[in-house]
Amino acid sequence: MKRCCLLVISLFILATVDNEILAQDRDAAIEKATLAITSKDYPAAVRICLEELKRSPGDYDLRFLLCQAYAFSNKWDEALSVLNDLASAFPDNIDVLVFRARIESWKRDYAAAERGYQRALEIRPRNLEAMIGLAEIASWQGEYARSVSLYDRAAEQYPDNAELAFQLGRVHFWSGNYEKARHSYEKALRLDPQNKEYRKALTTASPRWLKNYEFRYEHQAETFTDGRNPYIDRRLAFQLNFLLTGPLVLKASLTERSEKKDYQYEVESYPRLWNRSYAYLNLAVSPKAVHYPNHSWLAEVYQGIFSSWEVSLGHRRITFSPRSTSVYLGSVAHYHDQSIAFLRWYLTREEGKTTFSWTVNLRRYFSETSHLSVGYGMGSKPFDIVTAEDLLVKESWVIFAGLDWRFFQKIRLQLYYHLRDEGTLRRHTFLLCTGYCW
């Protein structure tokens, strides 16, 4: 009997010791995984969690850390798989509901994300993360007025929250309400004076609330495979950026072709219209009209749609006395991270005939004002008609590449190359532009 009691006691002690060791191992694994996520070593965090989950497959903390590591390394489907299992086991867990909604919003499944945030607010009506989440996905879809309303509603309950003020400032900035954006950024910085992100947003965006000026000089050389002398174009441009009306650009151009000079004067603007919409307007005149058209105008309207698309439609009228040419143009663009891909088309109508041309372009941004671009086009005139000679082209293809770079936020450099093949003739165009902003 004594032996049996001793055996039972020994087994109990061993089991207790094993459980304590397992608990210690689990706590150590959680600490290591947390440190790995903090240091952005997400693969290490995934390995640690998966290894420990072999011994504790139902552990909530380890599974939640695992889905965080998956999500932050852009493995959203794996993260959602773990979160769905957690949601089944813990249907009213706020952290699970909010984090799952956040990942769904990153995947641009906004309807599912909104359902998740709404469910979290049903359980806990004052949950700040869910409130911010709803406002964020509204702004990402271009619903700025709704987003502002949601942020204002959250700010009523959390009036001294710096992050709310900062996020509200971003939405005001995106929607063009720069004065309100400035007030929100200043409030965020007042509530959290040491926050570098808030200070940077206020400093970077401040020029948007003032008039900006830019002076540019362009020099373009066009060479030919038929041996003729190069064409030389020069242009001066002065740009004014206004708070309410958008940029206004004044241009004066000189071209030298076949030992004859011609001058052109232009004014163009980019007025803001309504939500996520602006226009491009251009008016040009040439007093002599030796090479340039007597006059021309262009009006094109751009409209943002969905969360990352933009479309445009426009009309250009060009008059080379005594005849006029109409060009109907448009584009479809898709924004993805720091890149833009867009298709542009031209319907040129002259002397009762209509011809079609198109170009496809890819632009990669490295900052708000610096990018690289490449493109290709085909058709009768897959380019902007500048002189009467351009109207003579019947069929052609083009390739082009370039960069537009801003140094020290004030100095601008543009370099472009353009190859146009017209069948029996090829044109090589090189453009250099320098500018200064203040």
With a pLDDT cut of 70, the percent of the chain lying above it is 91
pTM check: above 0.85 = no
Q: How many residues does the chain have?
A: 438
The amino acid at residue 69 is A
Is residue 19 predicted with pLDDT exceeding 70?
Answer: no
- Which residues share a beta bridge with 215? 238, 436
- For 2-208, which CATH superfamily applies? Tetratricopeptide repeat domain (1.25.40.10)
Give the model confidence (pLDDT) of 379-418 as tens digits: 999 988 999 889 888 899 999 999 999 888 789 999 999 9
How many angstroms separate the CA atoms of 143 and 306, rounded? Answer: 10
Contacts of 266 (CB under 8 A, 6+ apart): 249, 250, 251, 252, 253, 282, 283, 284, 285
Contact 289, 357 (CB under 8 A): no
427-438 average pLDDT score: 94
How does residue 246 score in pLDDT terms, banded at 50, 70 and 90?
Answer: confident
Of 430, 431, 424, nearest in space to 226 by CA: 424
The amino acid at residue 289 is A
How many CA atoms are closer than 13 Å to the CA of 152, on its beta-carbon side? 8
The pLDDT assigned to 205 comes to 63
The amino acid at residue 249 is V
225-236 average pLDDT score: 94
Contact 220, 237 (CB under 8 A): no
How many angstroms separate the CA atoms of 260 and 13, rounded? Answer: 103
The pLDDT assigned to 14 comes to 47
Domain 211-437, architecture per CATH: Beta Barrel (2.40)
Tokens linked to 407 = 């140094």
How does residue 197 score in pLDDT terms, banded at 50, 70 and 90?
Answer: confident
Give the model confidence (pLDDT) of 264-282 as tens digits: 999 999 988 887 788 999 9
